[in-house]
Amino acid sequence: MLKIWSMKQQQQAANNSEGGKKKKVTAAQLRAQKDVAELSLPSTMRTHFPDPDDILNFELKIEPDEGMYKGGVFKFTFAINSNFPHEPPKVKCTQKIYHPNIDLEGNVCLNILREDWKPVLNLNAVMVGLQFLFLEPNSSDPLNKEAAEDLRLTRENFKRNVKQSMQGGYVKNVQFDRVLKN
């Protein structure tokens, strides 16, 4: 107890000597830092922090190595608000892709980002959930209803449309971003 008290006094003294400009670390920052430190991502996923001092806003790249989306590179932004972990991070896909669970504006339909979010879930769980969407697109809870209908009716036609869209082509009069590695 005495040690904690002296550490707190040292921190206050350091803050006072710096003119009190030291920023307070929020609970969201502490939890995000813990989650990032404990990430165990496969080689098909990478994080990038554009501002190394901002742990609450970062990017994730997913490069599926199997399934219909194999060969693509999909980029997501994560924005963590001050209520994290009591509220899920805001996740958006930065590219226009043909996927039943990602709409044309990049919004993502993943149950743990909405009604099934719990504070015990971490960033790793969200990232693995995103990767799973590329392995097993879910047509029963869609944001892109046309893609979901396509997947439900004819899986082969859906696969063709995914391939066409990943090349930057058109599907049903909508042009998609080219997301292929090479």
In the prediction, which pLDDT does 6 show?
A: 47
- Give CA–CA dist 153/156, Å, rounded: 9
**122's tokens:** 């971490």
- Give CA–CA dist 168/31, Å, rounded: 38
The closest alpha carbon to 97, from 45, 160, 161, 154, belongs to 161
Q: Which CATH architecture describes the domain 26-169?
A: Roll (3.10)
In the prediction, which pLDDT does 146 show?
A: 95
| 1-5, 41-45, 61-65, 132-136: least confident range | 1-5
Average pLDDT, stretch 34-41? Answer: 94
Domain ranges of the chain: 26-169
Report the catalytic residues: 109
Average pLDDT, stretch 75-83? Answer: 97
In the prediction, which pLDDT does 2 show?
A: 42
Q: What is the maximal distance between C-alpha atoms in the chain? A: 69
- Give CA–CA dist 176/59, Å, rounded: 20
End-to-end CA gap in the chain: 58
